[in-house]
Amino acid sequence: MSLDIIEVYKSLTNKSKSLFEESSKYLPFGVSSNYRYFDPYPIYLVKGKGSRVWDVDGNEYIDYILGFGVLEVGHSHPRIVEEVRRAVEDSTILGFEYEKSVELAKIICNRYNVDMVRFSSTGTEATMHAIRIARAYTKRKKIIKFEGHYHGSHDQLLINVNPMRLESRVPTSPGIPEETLSNTLVADWNDYEGFERLVRVHGNDVAAVIMEPVAMNMGLIPADLDFLKGVFDLARDYGFLVIFDEVKTGGKFYSGASGYYGLKPDLVTLGKAIAGGLPLSVVAGRRDVLGVVGPGRVAHGGTFNANPLSVRVAIVTLRDILTEGAFYYMNSLSEELQKGYEDIADDLDIDLIVTKWGPSGMIYFNSKVPKNYKDFIKSDFKSWFTYFYYMVAKGILPMASFNEQWTVSIAHTKEDISKHLEVARDAIKLAKNKKLNLDLFEAF
């Protein structure tokens, strides 16, 4: 195929281009989050319903991005729309504690096997508070994170998230003082021996290790169970805490990765899918660890923490919508996507690997499944970008970027999956035969 897929994209999104040019006068790169931008300009959306979204040009897309994994309930779920309407009538914020926050706390404690919770609004806040709590509890300073894992946009963990160069310590953004990162240590995912060496040197100064128990910011790379168990054993031996950042994974199985792996971390952060599309996050964990929080103790605050809209929608989402049956349905559709991609790769005789975990999955133009970021960075990203732009031009939003994954919602249908795979076959065929000349990878 000889078409220039970027030119096709441009021809379909003239209004997005105009809006980008206007918005860039007022918003850096025309967006409110760096992750919403891609070259030559991003799509501007106007509405979503069920499994679909529409842009300013009137183009309709089957959406597998779902707000970066937030909307497993689908867009504008009628039960959630009704709950928001009812909640707004009682006030969007009350100042003092909202009566239903205890009901939501009980649901989360039972579902995720934790003792206590504190609510906030974003995943960034949740992980920021979690490491502060860990430091206060252990009276230690150092935090271990893993390369390729993302824990929000606060300074202390913005290191080696998606470095373009493989070095031992790479700040993710200008503006972060080295002294702020001096107590952040970086390890390789799924490398127990390397982690053990790091702990032998620094273990007595480590307050916690924080991880995505399934790495979902370098595509999708599950943890080896033996690796996780080894991390837990070392944490116990050296007296530091284990933090599962389940902002993403907490909505991929009924009880998140903690329940899936049968492990109980000391602290868990939750967010994204648990509130059905509204902003809410959670720091949860052991009673003695959360017990350090309070007036005159560890600081934790936020004007919009446990606001009535988010609390009420989260109750409905966890109690009535994202049931075990819903996860079974989403997982079955995700399995169809996985098998479909594997069949396409076999038919076209192309190096393409698929990883899946629950309703989410990722394709790598690679000959083997990555185990960590160093493997991930070796993937053929030019092929991925060719695939991506073709999918978008044909009305499929497959995943948000080369380091994200697809997510299936309860609103998706078998017909949606069939359409996805039909377009994907042509996209992968194009990627095999003609890669983009433009090195768009650097734009991310």
Per-residue pLDDT of the chain (444 residues; tens, 9 = 90+): 335 889 999 999 999 999 999 999 999 999 999 999 999 999 999 999 999 999 999 999 999 999 999 999 999 999 999 999 999 999 999 999 999 999 999 999 999 999 999 999 999 999 999 999 999 999 999 999 999 999 999 999 999 998 877 767 899 999 999 999 999 999 999 999 999 999 999 999 999 999 999 999 999 999 999 999 999 999 999 999 999 999 999 999 999 999 999 999 999 999 999 999 999 999 999 999 999 999 999 999 999 999 999 999 999 999 999 999 999 999 999 999 999 999 999 999 999 999 999 999 999 999 999 999 999 999 999 999 999 999 999 999 999 999 999 999 999 999 999 999 999 999 999 998 865 554 444 433
350 C-beta neighbours (distance < 10 Å), count: 17
233, 239 Cβ separation under 8 angstroms: no
DSSP code, position 320: I
Is 229 a residue of the active site?
A: no
> 142, 248, 252, 272: which one is catalytic?
272
**Spatial separation of the C-alpha atoms in residues 29 and 440, rounded to whole Å:** 15
**Nearest by Cα to 370 from 402, 412, 406:** 402
Is 272 a residue of the active site?
A: yes
Which domains can be identified in the chain, with CATH numbers?
5-72+323-443 (3.90.1150.10), 78-321 (3.40.640.10)
Is 382 a residue of the active site?
A: no
> 112, 150, 192, 390: which one is catalytic?
150
> 188, 245, 266, 416: which one is catalytic?
245
The single-letter code of the amino acid at 418 is S
55, 262 Cβ separation under 8 angstroms: no
Angle between helices 192-202 and 225-238 (to 10 degrees): 10
| Residue 55 tokens, joined | 């842009």
- The structure tokens 């899936």 sit at 260
- In 161-220, DSSP assigns E strands to 184-187, 206-211, 214-215
The pTM assigned to this predicted structure is: 0.95
